[in-house]
Amino acid sequence: MRYWWVNQNQTFRHEVPGGFLWSPKRRADGRTHASYETMREVAPGDVVLSFAERCIKAFGIARSYAYEAPKPEEFGSAGRNWDLIGWRVDVAFQEIPTRFRPSEWMARLTPLLPPRHSPLRRNGHGVQNIYLAELPAPLALELGGLIGHGLDALMRFEAPAARILSDSAAPAPELVLWEEHLRRRVELDEALSATEKEAIVLARRGQGLFKQRVQQVESCCRVTRVDRAEHLRASHCKPWRDATNAERLCGENGLLLTPTIDHLFDRGFISFRDDGRLLVSPVADRPSLLRMGVAVDRDVDVGSFTRGQQRFLEFHRDQVFLASRRGHSR
């Protein structure tokens, strides 16, 4: 279990009742932001403290890993922003009956503040340019004891947090809606022939022309070495939802993977470096990956990639892999 602090002055009324966190992937100037990157490190079962109006007003349990999602419709009157894609984490929130003001307890909290990326100032006010930050365990446990209302027991593993966790393997509703929106856009595109539309839609599930083209580049699963086509899926490196129509059908934008490895790759639990080294997300459950046939106790070299594959894998590492950029290398 890890502990997170989210500053929600502008979004509390949407995110807490809606049961989610959402952040852009980058700042307005296009640069990465540390507190947006931390979204990729949240895991089901983690505790989230919600801070707004200089109070901790709610706490919650993360119900999913981070996943790509359009800007929520709750954030604006025009509905979902299908073109502004960020990170979303589903959270089961519970509002606190009595608001807790950290400013009244700073004598006890200040010595426990992290030296870097602290979301709380020494005067008890939130740091405006930090959306999400990890709390050191001593600080989180001290806050839990001060706040009470069951939070202290939850943080000490005495409360049954698992009972409110969802199946993290299930497709997120927001992700399904987004992909359905994109599918309809393809089907309504008058510039495409019926054959092209069919090929692009089939590519969404790793079938048809896309799989044929991937088979011209790949011969087996990179991780398990299974080479029977009927046991392999063509998995996009740059996801179908993020790709252009040409990229959706490009053979170098794919790998042949067994269904289990495809799931891990699609959800960002694993990725690959350009030199062929397997990357494992820090939020992935190591024992589960071992049972799935992924060696996590040693370096794994899956072989070289073409230049085209390297370009698409770079996108996967930067935009899908569940590790902040400071946590993995190319």
Query: Over the stretch 88-138, which tens digit does the pLDDT of each residue have?
Result: 999 999 999 888 999 999 999 999 999 888 999 999 898 888 999 999 999
Token output for 35: 């507190």
Q: Homologous superfamily of 3-164 in CATH?
A: ph1033 like domains (3.10.590.10)
Q: What is the pLDDT of residues 278-328, one digit of tens each?
A: 999 999 999 999 999 899 989 999 999 999 999 999 999 999 999 987 544
The reported pLDDT for the residue numbered 171 is 60
Q: Where do the domains of the chain lie? A: 3-164, 189-327
Token output for 13: 């009324």
Q: What is the pLDDT of residues 4-38, one digit of tens each?
A: 999 998 889 999 999 999 999 988 888 888 889 99
* Mean pLDDT computed over 137-151: 91
> What does the alpha-carbon distance between residue 242 and residue 36 come to, in Å, rounded to a whole number?
19
> What does the alpha-carbon distance between residue 29 and residue 329 come to, in Å, rounded to a whole number?
23
Q: How confident is the model at residue 330 (pLDDT cuts 50, 70, 90)?
A: very low
Residue 170 has pLDDT above 80, yes or no: no
Alpha helices in 188-328 (DSSP H): 194-203, 209-215, 245-248, 259-266, 286-291, 307-319
Q: Are 155 and 3 in contact (CB under 8 A)?
A: yes
Cross-strand pairs, 7: 51
Q: What is the pTM of this model?
A: 0.87
Q: Are 226 and 220 in contact (CB under 8 A)?
A: yes
Residue 158 has pLDDT above 80, yes or no: no
Mean pLDDT for all residues in the chain? 90
